[in-house]
Chains A and B, each alone.
Chain A
């Protein structure tokens, strides 16, 4: 599909499919076209060319059926703060034409899931950020969608709420809900997603499982050694002279990049350090992080351009593009 706004191409000839029951991540710097793509899937924007099938149904031709299949949650928490938790869910249920009887049960269930039953008659405006977020999530799930789209679901949440949200997302996925999520947090994508697409300039520039993406960026691995400050220099010299590596030291932590044959090399390094009786707190080896992947794929320049987003309020307005 392609989506143009005047001369600007927000989504440029993108084609992909998402397997049912998976968690699919869309990563990309600001302005990459993530939000536009989501608007296209939601049917808020019509593609300039191309089409979107949800569960085999064209999302423009079968608008209302497809809308029933999709749940959506943005980075802003959309609840009516003047309405109570119960009223919020009640209106939410009616918007999806859930019958009166079913709605009642669904609302009770949603309140329980979000642990808001005891606050159901309190205005949502009096809730904490995390409570509102939970209310919003269960509201988005009231009509039991097969696909849940999450646009930066944990932006601005504290650690507890973030971990709670991750747990919730995994539970939903465990119940068979296909999840599409965009995120700025690379560790979140790595933690949750079965498959990730990296978008930039309206195109998908790479996709695969998190480890596939990492291998795409480099064949090697990173060894990380934690010791004490005094021994750090010694270890550094060993790695430099005997293994011809270029390690980086920060206080008591040494990191070195193993370009090829990394597993065997790792074993030799470990053996050598033990032989030297150098104190080791921990030694480990891992693939490059998602941060490395992201920077490598999209370049390291900052994308926050000045001028188009003058204020936060404008940013909210610009969400539509």
Chain B
């Protein structure tokens, strides 16, 4: 078990170094979440932009002014749909969060029932809670009442931007992926390059330890640091009122997903750092790789918003799955088996491939 012992020896060294810069590390890793969550997160608070399909069977001036009053509120984005069936299809396909059906008798009740029917799916309940009072209020001022119907949960397993009750929650998922990915590329990768410059790598290579222990210890240390970054991001999110819909199980999932992201990006860092000798070059190459991956993962807005030309990259980007997974547990409140299989499948295979790649590439490495 010398490989394990050697790995733990070097891991201890990494941790001692990390500990000696603990304050700097915490401040550095808190910086981005603070800026993004408090500054950009609040950008969305006034424009939740929830997609709603409206079927107007009345077509009278009262119904048009009712729709108009809903549109003036920035919280709702309205799509007009001609039939109720189409609208409900859109709801089950998660294209919209809710369906408003205006019955022909609007604003008068239709055979004793309210003249406005609202449909929503169970998976989007959180979002509906914020728009329902608005609909009821506007309907009331038009002289009508609202009938609320719950539909079975939507077929799409992914929370879209707009289905969240709060943009900040949406953002936090993306920020967690980001802090981990960036922490690894600029922490782990940089530490390999400085270790080489300062000669530490040479002293490891002349000692009887295995080269793999160097790679494993860097990745293991990266994972540990990632856990701290995730905790910091979550704490900052909580300070801004973000919760995890799935509770403690969700918390565990976030750490598992974050850990896998850490392995992926620590792996990328090892591969790059074993080929690149200059910090300057490494920084450029790492940015060129990590920035697009992060941006296309849908950290800021849903991946469906990207043009189709970018969708293949979105589909192979491990961060996409990490971000989606975290959003499932934070926003939906449940993590469907299908989604777990996809996210974990992608993340585990990418992590394994990068781990093997980093070990193989580091084999030819001479300090």
Contacts and interface: CB of A to CB of B under 8 A. Distances in A.
B partners with A: yes
Interface stretch (A75-83, A113-121, A219-227): A75-83
A95 B211 CA distance: 12
Interface in A111-151: 123
A42 B197 contact: no
B206 A70 contact: yes
Q: Is the interface of B mostly helix, strand, loop or mixed?
A: helix
B277 interface: yes
B198 A76 contact: yes
Contacts of A74: 199, 202
B20 A44 contact: no
Given A67-B207, A317-B277, A82 B20 contact: yes
B6 to A, nearest CB: 8
A78 B20 contact: no
B9 interface: yes
B208 A87 contact: no
Contact of A44 (B6, B17, B200, B206): B206
B344 interface: no
A320 interface: yes
A160 B17 CA distance: 31
B60 interface: no
Nearest to A42: B206
A78 B199 contact: yes
Interface residues of B, number: 28
Contacts of A67: 206-208
Interface string B13-40: 1001100110000000000000000000
B131 to A, nearest CB: 53
Contacts, number: 74
A313 interface: yes
Contacts of A123: 20
B17 A80 contact: yes
B197 A97 contact: no
A94 interface: yes
A15 interface: no
A162 to B, nearest CB: 20
Interface of B: 2, 5-6, 9-10, 12-13, 16-17, 20-21, 196-200, 202-209, 277-278, 366-367
Given A44-B367, A317-B278, 18 more contacts: A42-B206, A43-B206, A44-B202, A44-B205, A44-B366, A45-B366, A76-B198, A80-B13, A80-B17, A83-B13, A94-B5, A95-B9, A95-B207, A317-B196, A319-B202, A320-B202, A320-B366, A320-B367
18 contacts: A45-B366, A68-B208, A72-B206, A74-B199, A74-B202, A78-B200, A80-B17, A82-B20, A91-B13, A94-B5, A95-B6, A95-B207, A95-B209, A96-B208, A317-B277, A317-B278, A320-B202, A320-B366
